[in-house]
């Protein structure tokens, strides 16, 4: 009998240690009340969550509280009321798909109740998890973000790679506009005409005057 008690104590300590480590490493987790679910329903939910990179743990609240305190996860303590199931999302897991799986299970079974969760150390409500479940798949979200970033870059690249004649056309159009307004654009251009030596005629005339004056 004594050996059985010691073994149970060792098992509890092992569970607390494992749960503490999960709480320390998990960036996001969702909490639900599984009261009323059958074992086949729990196993089915566990399988769906594994597909999306999450692991479902069903542990007594007394042990979970000890683990939460040891891991410094105080935000979780407020959610530990009644039978508790915790979905730990792995580093490469899809939190949107996990939230959707929980929300679908809640609607299908009419038993599972989402309580909320913890995201980056901050407590989130059940409605927050519901809102997450309504978002597009993570691949679509990533595509939207990448598209928003790339779009301005694409516009810039298109501008830089535009044919040079387009730039000339814009300059000619601007000159014609100024001429229509009576601006002496042509004269200004001719006055600064480049000579064969690479100097402008204005610079050449000035140098000639200085040479004549010096001689």
N-to-C CA span, the chain = 123
> pTM of the predicted model, to two decimals?
0.62
Q: What is the pLDDT of residue 153?
A: 56
pLDDT in tens, 55-72: 999 989 999 999 999 999
**pLDDT (mean) for 25-52:** 94
Which stretches of 38-137 are DSSP H helices? 39-51, 61-71, 74-77, 95-109, 126-133
pLDDT in tens, 68-107: 999 999 899 999 988 999 999 998 899 999 999 999 999 9
Element (H, E) at 197: none
Q: Residue 151: CB partners within 8 Å, gap ≥ 6?
A: none
Of 134 and 85, the one with more pLDDT: 85
Domains within the chain, CATH numbers bracketed? 2-135 (3.30.70.1730), 136-190 (no CATH)
Q: What is the pLDDT of residue 180?
A: 72
Q: What is the pLDDT of residue 149?
A: 56
pLDDT in tens, 140-195: 666 666 655 555 655 555 555 555 555 556 566 666 766 776 655 444 444 444 44
Residue 27 CB neighbours (<10 A): 14
Q: What is the pLDDT of residue 98?
A: 94
Burial per residue of 40-77, b for 16 or more beta-carbon CB atoms within 10 angstroms, e otherwise:
ebbeebbebbeebbbbbbebeeeebebbbeebebebbe
* Phi and psi angles of residue 30, each rounded to the nearest 5 degrees, phi first: -115, 145
Q: What is the pLDDT of residue 110?
A: 92
Q: What is the pLDDT of residue 30?
A: 97
């Amino acid at each position: 009998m004594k050996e059985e008690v010691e073994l149970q104590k060792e098992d509890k300590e092992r569970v607390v240690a494992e749960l503490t480590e999960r709480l320390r490493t998990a960036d996001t987790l969702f909490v639900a009340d599984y009261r009323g679910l059958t074992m086949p329903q729990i196993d089915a939910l566990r399988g769906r969550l594994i597909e999306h990179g999450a692991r479902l743990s069903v542990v007594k609240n007394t042990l979970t509280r000890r683990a939460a305190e040891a891991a410094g996860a105080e935000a979780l303590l407020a959610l530990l009321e009644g039978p508790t199931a915790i979905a730990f999302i792995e580093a490469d897991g899809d939190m949107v798909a996990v939230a959707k799986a929980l929300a679908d299970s809640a609607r299908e079974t009419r038993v599972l109740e989402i309580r909320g969760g913890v995201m980056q150390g901050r407590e989130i409500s059940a409605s927050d998890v519901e809102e997450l479940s309504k978002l597009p798949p993570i691949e679509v979200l990533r595509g939207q973000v990448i598209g928003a970033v790339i779009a301005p870059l694409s516009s810039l690249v298109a501008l830089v790679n535009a044919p040079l004649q387009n730039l000339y056309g814009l300059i000619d159009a601007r000159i014609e506009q100024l001429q229509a307004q009576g601006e002496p654009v042509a004269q200004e251009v001719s006055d600064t005409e480049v000579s064969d030596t690479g100097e402008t005629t204005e610079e050449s005339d000035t140098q000639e005057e200085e040479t004549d004056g010096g001689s």
